[in-house]
Amino acid sequence: MDLDTAASWAEVLGLVTILGAAIYSWYQIQELRRSRDSTTAMNLAANFQSEDFVVGLTAIMNMDFDKSQFKEGKEKENFKAFRSHFGDDWPKVMTVLTTWESNGVLIHRGDMDFHAFYDLFSGVIIKTYELFSFYFEPIRESENDKNMEWLIWLAERIIEYEKEGSGTPPAHIAFKSWKPPKRTD
């Protein structure tokens, strides 16, 4: 074998090695993404095992707030009325709201999967947004108010997602014919 032929074979071997490494890297990146998404979903689901979160969410879902106590432009008084309404559960309600606030940031940045969040919380975050709308509306209208800005952003994205027809019906309807896969072992 002459030197030119050996050099050509070396180039081909180098190219195959580079292509193999690129393909392997692509598969590794896909696996890392699946792992991250799985970890994210597990962490989101873990919220339902937190007593503070469950009590706060239950307080929100059963909220019967007298909106006449809420006066436009009186933020401090409104906050006090809200806090008073929930009483001892107020810190737990704030746990729920601040959890969703932080999830909004993480979803926006691409650090959390929107669809995992949507599947777990879309119904309750929309209900929360609607129940608290009288409290959130003045925040939305003010360009300088950053209170609960990411919770509001996230709820609006979920509402838009559903209006576009991208959302799913409740799981008991959408997946009523689902069956677990057969075991292979």
Q: pLDDT band at 39, cuts 50/70/90?
A: confident
CB-based burial, 127-139: b 16+ in 10 Å, e otherwise: ebbebbeebbebb
Q: What angle do CA 73, 77, 80 make, to 5 degrees?
A: 140
Residue 108 is predicted with a pLDDT of 93
Residue 115, pLDDT above cutoff 90: no
- pTM of the full structure: 0.71
Contact 148, 97 (CB under 8 A): yes
- Select from 129, 133, 116, 102 the least CA-distant residue to 33: 116
Mean pLDDT score of the chain:
84
Tell me if 113 sits within 8 A of 40, measured CB to CB.
yes
| Mean pLDDT (whole number) for 108-119 | 87
* CA–CA separation, 167 and 173 (whole Å): 13
Confidence of residue 92 (pLDDT cuts 50, 70, 90): very high
Residue 49 has a pLDDT of 78
pLDDT digits (tens, 9 = 90+) for 130-161: 888 877 777 777 677 777 889 989 999 999 99
pLDDT at 153: 92
Question: Each residue of 67-90: pLDDT tens digit?
Answer: 777 777 777 787 888 888 889 999
Higher pLDDT, 18 or 66: 18
pLDDT of residue 2: 85
More confident residue, 146 or 20: 20
